[in-house]
Structure formats: structure tokens, C-alpha cells
Amino acid sequence: MNPSPETTSSIEPGDREQQALDWFTRLRAHDLSAAEQHAFAQWRLAPANARTFAEIELLWQQVELPARRVRRAEHRPARRPWRRLAVAACVMLVSGLLVLQLPVLERLNSDYATSAGERRHLRLADDTLMVLDSASAVDVDLRGPVRKVRLVQGQLFLDVTHDGRPFVVDVDDAQVQVLGTRFSVSRTKDHDEVVLLKGKVEVSNNGQKRMLDPGQRVTFSGQRLDAVQAVDAERLTAWRDGQLRVREVPLRQVLEQLAGYHGARLVLLDEQLGRRLVSGSFNLDKADSALDALAQSQNLSINNLAGQLIIVR
């Protein structure tokens, strides 16, 4: 656990992360010796070690807070042997990473799915064209009198072929009745939405209904169905061609979309920074380069932790 700075250049990334985790837990013990403190200071002299240790600290902050609240509520003693704390830290970190993997498990159970950074163009049995965005999943049933698609997660685009049967897309408790042909349906962290390019669709939710014409969008969440908005539908659906085009959009939203193409979750340490409005066009097929370019233009510092968290400050 105590390599000298001279040998750290040959350390594999996984070994360095394990060393950082060992030090992270050991430093929180009450019986830390002066020799160990000196050894840690020497280990941390290597820039790669210092960077990995900082990333472990940030990840701990993200997954430890709920457990800390539980410990306070239960009035547990503050002093614990360091080995128990090390085990607890490992459990917390692994649990946090498992939570990030839940969407992957959900996609595995769907009829059609894409992994992070992947898009798929599919021709369904009724000749309808379906495009799935990155990290998306759908269930499809075209056998009955009503053709049904359920958006499990992510984003899809449909160019529906008419065959005399109704076509319906279910999104949570809302339903999209297809009266036209070309539209997209999306599920995001904050809301769901439908964007119409051609034809007509009717969106219903909790007894409310909205009819969309081309160039319009409606958002909804839970029992709420918002008013219809006029939008640039082609820009909002540019992801079909591997482009993210934004105009006066909060920086957090853009970072989250690019992080999603990495299969990672965004951790933004400055909420005020996240509200900054940005415009531009980004190549989703080169999301890493797009993220680097955005970071440079906005003077951001970005760390990628274990391919699971993208930490921005």
C-alpha cells in the first residue's frame, strides 16, 4: 500500500485506484501512525496518485451522504476500527456503482436496446422505421389490433407506416396516439417529451390531452401535461444523425447528454456554472472530443472516474 513515488509510473490504473481506496479508508482511522502519514505524503507526491485520490474523495461524497444521515439517526458511535470503516467504504463505493448499472440491467430485459454511445436504425415488421438513441430501450408489440411501443428509457424516433391499425406509444402513464408519421419521444431525468416533425399526434395523460402539429413539442411528468410549444423540431431531433444542436441551453443539460454518450453519470460541483447558457453543435459520435472541446471553451476541469462518473468543476 506504500509504494515510493519513483515506482508509481509503472502502476496499473486499477492498482492505483485500489491503493487510493486503501489510503482513503486508512486515513480515517484514529490509530494512524506518524510513519503512515509520512508514507501517504510520499505516495501522494506522484500526480497520478494525487488525482486518483481526489477522485475517490469526490465519489465518496456522492454515495456516502445518505448513509451518513442514517448513521446520525441511529446515533451510532463515531469511533470505529479502521478495518470496519474500510469495509464500509468499499460497500458504499460498490453500491454507488451498482446503482449506476441499474439502467443497463433494465435495457437487457427490453425487446430492443442500445448501449451508451450507440444508435440503431430498425425496420419493424409493419415497415415502420424506428431509430433508438444512445442508452435507450423499447418494448414492441405489433401483433394485435393496436400496434404498441413502450419507451422504457432514453429516446426514440418513429416514422410510422400506416396499415389500418392504430399505433400507440406508452411513456410511463402517458400515451401517444399516432395520427401522423414522424415524431420523437424522449425520457429524461426531469420530464418526458414528444416532438412532432410531420403529421399529427395526440398526447394524453391523467385525463388531459394535447394535439400536436408539426414543429411543436409537449413535455409531461407524473400527472402533469404541459402546454404545447413551438420549437425547431429538426434541431431537437438532430441526434438521429449523430448531432447535438443546442441554442441557449443550460450547460448542465449539455454536459449530461455528452456524459450519457460515455455511459457515465455527471457530477457537477458548481450548480451556478451549470445554469450558464450555451449554444453550439456537437458530434455525438465523438462525444469524448466534444466534451473536451466544451470544457476548454467554458474553462472547465473534467475528471472521469472509473468510466462511471464524469466530475466537472
Q: Give residue-wise pLDDT tens across range 117-145.
A: 999 999 999 999 999 999 999 999 999 99
Give the single-character DSSP code of 226. Answer: P
Separation between Cα atoms, residue 8 and residue 34, nearest integer Å: 22
pLDDT given at position 48: 84
The predicted pLDDT at position 4 comes to 41
Query: Which residue stretches of the chain have pLDDT < 70?
Result: 1-15, 58-108, 306-307
- Per the structure block, which three cell numbers stand in for 262? 460515455
pLDDT given at position 31: 79
- Residue that is written with C-alpha cell 501512525 in the block: 33
CA-based nearest residue to 185, from 145, 137, 226, 223: 137
Is 50 in contact with 42 (CB distance < 8 Å)? Answer: no
> pLDDT tens for residues 156-197?
999 999 999 999 999 988 999 998 789 999 998 889 999 999
Residues in Cβ contact with 277 at an 8 Å cutoff, skipping those fewer than 6 apart: 248, 249, 250, 251
CA distance 121 to 123: 7
First to last CA, the chain: 29
C-alpha cell at 180: 401522423
| Cα gap 91→190, rounded to integer Å | 29
Cell (9 digits) for 210: 394535447
Rg (CA), the chain: 24
Which pLDDT value is given to residue 107?
64
Q: How far apart are CA 182 and CA 93, in angstroms?
A: 43
pLDDT the model gives residue 89: 53
Amino acid code (one letter) for 256: E
Q: DSSP letter for 145, please.
A: S
Query: Which amino acid, one-letter code, is at 195?
Result: V
Are β-strands 216-221 and 224-225 bridged in parallel, bridged antiparallel, or unpaired?
antiparallel
pLDDT of res. 19:
82
